């Protein structure tokens, strides 16, 4: 029968078994020793390097800004001074009309051609003009009226007196107290070409034709008999484009 051995309080415990010399124990890793001087030197080096890089940047940026300002000031000064080579507003393109010309024995004025005819009633004069692909002349402004008068002044076939008149392309239609004026070439009447006053010397019907007195002292509009009065006349047609 097994009896356990009980040690008394004064008995020495058995020594622990001796360690096996073949077993190696690793030493626990050592905790890094805190060295304030080394840490301070490392931090100072990084900060110094960072400061050097930013110092170069701080110098370059203002220089670039100054150069840009100088360049912009130079550009605006050229624009304000209007110096050569500066941008300018392009000039509007001028549109030139094609030159025109008239057939032989026709006189040219602006965009129309004119020809004198002789000894016809108003109706026969209009018929003669249409054979030239023209009409009795409309008078659209004072400049054209003066041109037609000058044609008659330069013609020595007729005397320059108070009785000298020529047919032009106007017709006056009277409907009661209403008078309507039309041009045979269908030009429109406006304030600048509508005769305000007429002298009626030979027309007694509701249809009268327009004639222009060619006295150099003054020019007056007259209403005449479209079939019974024989006068010189002026034809008018559009000018031809030069080829």
What Cα–Cα distance (Å) separates residue 165 from each residue in 68, 99, 205? 80, 32, 20
Per-residue pLDDT of the chain in tens (243 residues, 90 and over written 9): 445 554 455 555 555 555 444 444 455 555 555 555 554 554 455 545 545 555 555 566 666 676 777 677 666 565 555 545 545 666 666 656 678 899 999 999 999 999 999 889 999 999 999 999 999 999 988 899 889 988 877 765 655 555 678 999 999 888 777 678 889 999 987 655 555 667 776 787 888 999 888 766 666 788 889 998 999 999 999 999 887
Let me know: does 193 contact 140? Beta carbons within 8 Å: yes
Q: Cα(159)–Cα(162) distance, rounded to whole angstroms?
A: 9
Q: Cα(113)–Cα(134) distance, rounded to whole angstroms?
A: 9
Predicted TM-score (pTM) of the model is 0.57
């Amino acid at each position: 029968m097994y009896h356990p051995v009980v040690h008394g309080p004064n008995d020495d415990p058995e020594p622990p078994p001796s360690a096996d010399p073949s077993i190696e124990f690793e030493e626990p890793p050592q905790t890094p020793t805190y060295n304030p001087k080394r840490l301070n030197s490392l931090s100072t080096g990084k900060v110094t390097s960072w400061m050097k890089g930013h110092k170069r940047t701080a110098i370059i940026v203002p220089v670039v800004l100054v150069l840009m300002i100088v360049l912009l000031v130079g550009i605006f000064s050229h624009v304000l001074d209007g110096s050569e080579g500066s941008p300018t507003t392009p000039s509007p393109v001028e549109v030139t009309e094609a030159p025109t010309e008239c057939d032989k024995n026709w006189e040219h004025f602006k965009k129309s051609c004119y020809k004198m005819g002789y000894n016809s009633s108003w109706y026969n004069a209009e018929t003669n003009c249409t054979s030239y692909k023209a009409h009795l002349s409309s008078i659209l402004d004072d400049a054209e009226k003066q041109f037609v008068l000058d044609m008659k002044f330069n013609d020595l076939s007729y005397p320059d007196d108070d009785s000298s008149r020529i047919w032009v392309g106007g017709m006056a239609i009277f409907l009661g107290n209403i008078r309507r004026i039309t041009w045979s070439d269908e030009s429109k009447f406006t304030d600048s070409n509508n005769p305000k006053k007429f002298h009626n010397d030979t027309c007694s019907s509701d249809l009268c034709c327009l004639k222009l007195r060619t006295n150099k002292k003054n020019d007056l509009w007259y209403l005449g008999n479209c079939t019974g009065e024989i006068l010189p006349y002026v034809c008018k047609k559009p000018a031809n484009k030069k080829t």
